[in-house]
Amino acid sequence: MKLQKIGELKLLQEIRKRFKTEDNGIILGIGDDAAVLVPQKENLLVTTDMMNEGIHFDLSFTSPFQLGFKLVSINVSDIMAMGGRPKYIFLNVALKSDADEDIFWDMYEGISKAMEMYSVKLAGGDLCAAKNDMVLSATVIGAAEKFITRSGAKAGDKIYITGTLGDSACGLALLQRLTDESKEIVNRIGAPGYRRICEKLYLRYHDTPTLRYIDFDTVEPLITRHLTPVARDSSEVAKYATSMIDVSDGLFIDLCRICDESNVGAKVYLDRIQISDEAKNAAEIMGLDPMRLAVSGGEDYELLFTAPAENNFKFQISNLKSQKITCIGEIMETDRIAVDKTGKKFPIKAEGYQHFGAP
Amino acid sequence: MKLQKIGELKLLQEIRKRFKTEDNGIILGIGDDAAVLVPQKENLLVTTDMMNEGIHFDLSFTSPFQLGFKLVSINVSDIMAMGGRPKYIFLNVALKSDADEDIFWDMYEGISKAMEMYSVKLAGGDLCAAKNDMVLSATVIGAAEKFITRSGAKAGDKIYITGTLGDSACGLALLQRLTDESKEIVNRIGAPGYRRICEKLYLRYHDTPTLRYIDFDTVEPLITRHLTPVARDSSEVAKYATSMIDVSDGLFIDLCRICDESNVGAKVYLDRIQISDEAKNAAEIMGLDPMRLAVSGGEDYELLFTAPAENNFKFQISNLKSQKITCIGEIMETDRIAVDKTGKKFPIKAEGYQHFGAP
């Protein structure tokens, strides 16, 4: 049924039923002028992020489920990047009136799945109509005894990154090249009832009629990283980090943010940057440079942080459960340089995604 | 200069400079992954509201200044409607890349003016590009020792409303009918440097070439109510109220919300509803029914509340500084009826604005 036949009030009633307030700090949830939360003993962390159709997402590349999941993840990731625990989420959703009810509920499935993963509770929001572009935004409130800013890096600190970089940018590049049939297959990834079937996928090659075959096992993890990213748990890392940020716009641009705020420089050893086999493989098939995707491609949502260069520290940190952590360089007094495996040096520039596309 | 020539980072730097964090509970404001606020001793109130181009506003009817002001007011109004004090605001702004920088800063002037009026501090937000529609959303965090919900109304309570109703709907109706030249004049209302000049304004009459003259003194307060509404201070009212809501979608729809949540009925005496002389005058010129605008027109942002029918209470409440408060009826066991001055009864229906336009 179209949303315009259902109406806002009925939708809100249904949402309220599905997201019942439980006794977890929410005194009053959805359904009044504002939510009421119990007073917090710790510092309060608040972040908000928007996702706009045609800018942050393309509905022919992503399913509503994936979109809902990602909305929660990117906001939770900001709380994690401060060393906090996410607690409550507030959602703003604007959909076109002629949108089908299914789109709405698929999106809510994705939102719910991510909320469950991060133990975040829905406490309020706003649902309204959109004229042309679908818009989603979320505000996440979290808590932290000790929080990690971007401004605490000191010369001599080591620079660390969780996981691998460039996967998300590689996933996006794949989506831009997959044939419509192949895109339909990958749009189901992660959705309820999804079963992994190794189907054949094809990429368009430039504007030629030539198609290139690409293996499902290569595509799946990259698309997953792009469409349904998972925020990294910072609880262990936060004990040691002097500064931290999540890689949303690209390694170099986000590292420059730490340098700017901390008033320091940085040296990055390019050969230490972890790139997944899938990203290397897919980049080769597409004729792209995987290192460029790793340093300038955004949306990996890995944690980039600095910590003192103590001998035992490195050992502790590399053994954190389920988190692969790599030391990729060190904080310098002023210079910002990247060094490749031959020893050649390049300046680190704030390259990455920027809205309004200024130079 | 166009926003695409300036870029997101430079804009953010400028915003950060203009909205410096002061020592008022914001430990860390704009410029990190999340804001950090000091722990609150009182209950935390959180609300979020979106404004979409083509749905909530029309850029040919409103100036960016007015839009920014209204965004803050409608969110603050939700905190007020809970009996809380607004403290922090988080803004999400999506503008088209080819938008001019001036639009952006005019909007921020409006936001700043409203923030100052309500003593609300900017603590964070997100700034990004929009494909077609400009989108604004805000999250306001407030505090309250005692909060007032929609669910506390009891049979026998009196129903009160602050100020006058229908002004905003009347202002919108005027905007829809003003000639382009006249609209240009009213678009400056409230903006910095605005001086009140009694210029001649003209309304188009249906689709005919006939123009009707309307006096500036009639138009100004109505347009102001619609474009730059001011949230009502609930601090005194909250001491007595058993339930409260702000009139955003219309008196009847919002009263029905109190009835639904409180599981009660209501009787409203139509002749007690306060309608301003300007609204009566403008409605007559436009051939509209002012009472219909008062009960079904939204966006007045007056406080609708219930309170026990104690003799001395009425006296106290009617003397609150700068707040004209009128008793318009009483809470009933189940029936929802409106009575006109002749004693004729009508059922109260949840009539007002609803997104996705369901019946």
Question: DSSP of B118-140, one letter per residue?
Answer: HT-EEEEEEEEEESSS-EEEEEE
**Inter-chain touch B34–A142, beta carbons under 8 Å:** yes
Q: Does A1 touch chain B (CB under 8 A)?
A: no
Nearest in space to A288 (alpha carbons), one of A182, A201, A214, A188: A214
Count contacts between A and B (CB, < 8 Å): 265
Q: Is residue B245 within 8 Å of B80, Cβ to Cβ?
A: no
Q: What is the pLDDT of residues B186-245, one digit of tens each?
A: 888 877 777 776 677 888 877 777 888 898 889 999 999 999 999 999 988 898 899 999
Cβ separation A39–B34 shorter than 8 A: no
ipTM value of the model?
0.89
Residue with tokens 């003259």: B213
Whether A135 contacts A92, CB under 8 Å: yes
Q: Is B113 exposed, middle or buried (0-12, 13-18, 19+ CB in 10 A)?
A: middle
For residue B193, the model assigns a pLDDT of: 75
Q: Which of A8, A11, A44 sits opposite B37 (nearest CB)?
A: A44
Helix orientation angle between A101-118 and A64-80, rounded to the nearest 10 degrees: 30
Q: Is the minimum CB–CB distance between B9 and chain A shorter than 8 Å?
A: yes
pLDDT, tens digit (0-9, with 9 covering 90-100), for B197-208: 667 788 887 777
The DSSP call for residue B239 is G
Give me the residue spans of the domains in chain B.
Answer: 7-144, 158-169+229-352, 171-227
pLDDT for residue B252: 95
pLDDT band at B359; cut points 50, 70, 90: very low
DSSP B311-351: HHHHHHHHT-TT--EEEEEEEESS-EEEE-TT--EEE----
Residue A189 pLDDT? 82
Residue B334 has pLDDT above 90, yes or no: yes
Nearest residue in chain A measured CA to CA from B29: A46
Query: A148-353 — its CATH code?
Result: 3.90.650.10
Q: Please check the confidence at residue B22 and state whether its pLDDT lies above 80.
A: no
Which residue do the tokens 């009575």 mark? B339
pLDDT of residue B324: 83
Residues on chain B touching A136 (C-beta within 8 angstroms): none
More confident call, B108 vs A206: B108
- Residue A133 and residue B128: Cβ atoms within 8 Å? no
- Main-chain dihedrals φ then ψ at residue A138, nearest 5 degrees: -140, 150
Report whether A157 contacts A306 (CB < 8 A).
yes
Say if the Cβ atoms of A50 and B139 lie within 8 Å: no
Q: CATH: 3.20.20.70, 3.50.50.60, 3.30.360.10, 3.30.1330.10. Which one for B7-144?
A: 3.30.1330.10
Would the CB atoms of A131 and B132 count as touching at under 8 Å? yes
Contact A97 B357 (CB under 8 A): yes
Query: Which of A3, A36, A135 comes nearest B43 by C-beta?
Result: A36
Average pLDDT over residues B119-148: 93
Taking Cα atoms as reference points, which of B247, B254, B216 lies closest to residue B229? B247
Residue range B158-169+229-352, CATH number: 3.90.650.10
| Region class of A7: left (phi > 0), else alpha (psi between -120 and 50), else beta | left
Contact B192, B66 (CB under 8 A): no
The owner of tokens 């179209």 is A2
Residue-by-residue pLDDT tens, chain A, 359 positions = 787 777 777 777 788 787 776 667 888 888 889 999 998 889 999 999 999 999 999 888 899 999 999 999 999 999 999 999 999 999 999 999 888 888 888 999 999 999 999 999 999 988 889 999 999 999 999 999 999 999 999 999 999 999 999 999 999 999 999 988 888 888 888 777 777 776 778 888 777 778 888 988 899 999 999 999 999 999 988 988 999 999 999 999 999 999 999 999 999 999 999 999 999 999 999 999 999 999 999 999 999 999 998 755 665 555 555 568 899 999 999 999 999 999 999 999 886 556 665 43
* Residue A296, token pair as written in the block: 């300038």
Cβ atoms of B135 and B94 within 8 Å: the answer is yes
Neighbours of B117 (CB within 10 A): 14
Spell out which residues of chain A touch residue B133, defining contact as CB-CB under 8 Å: 130-133, 135
**Which residues of A, range 228-257, sit inside 8 Å of B by Cβ?**
244-246
Which among A10, A28, A129 has the least Cβ separation from residue B55?
Answer: A129
Pick from A34, A44, A97: which is nearest to B79 by CB?
A34
> What residues of chain A lie within 8 A of the CB of B245, using their CB?
33
**Residue B6 burial class via C-beta count within 10 angstroms: exposed 0-12, middle 13-18, buried 19 and up:** middle
The enclosing H or E element of B93 equals: strand B85-96
**Dihedral sign computed on CA atoms, order B316, B322, B328, B330:** negative
CA-CA distance, B134 to B293, in Å (whole number)? 28
Tell whether A75 lies on the interface with B, counting CB pairs under 8 A. no
The pTM assigned to this predicted structure is 0.91
Q: CA A73 to CA A114: how far, in whole Å?
A: 7
Q: Which residues of B are less than 8 Å from A250 in CB distance? A: none
Residue with tokens 């597409």: A286
In the numeric block, which tokens belong to residue B304?
Answer: 């609708």
Q: How far is CA A337 from the centre of its chain?
A: 26
User: What pLDDT is recorded for position B358?
Assistant: 47
Q: What are the structure tokens assigned to A199, written together?
A: 């189907």
Gap between the Cα atoms of B241 and B149, Å rounded: 9
- CB spacing of A132 vs B246 below 8 angstroms: no
What per-residue confidence (pLDDT) applies to A60? 87
Q: Which long-range contacts (CB under 8 A, 24 or more apart) does A58-64 make?
A: A58/A175, A59/A134, A60/A183, A61/A172, A61/A175, A61/A176, A61/A183, A61/A187, A61/A227, A62/A187, A62/A227, A63/A106, A63/A110, A63/A187, A63/A188, A63/A191, A63/A227, A64/A102, A64/A103, A64/A104, A64/A106, A64/A107, A64/A110
Interface of B with A in 260-279 (CB under 8 A): 261
CB B305 within 8 A of CB B158: no
By DSSP bridging, strand A345-347 and strand A336-339 are antiparallel
Q: Residue written as tokens 């001036």? A: B102
The amino acid occupying position B221 is P
How is domain A3-144 classified at the CATH fold level? Answer: 60s Ribosomal Protein L30; Chain: A; (3.30.1330)
Q: Determine whether B20 is exposed, middle or buried from the number of CB atoms within 10 Å of its CB (0-12, 13-18, 19+).
A: exposed
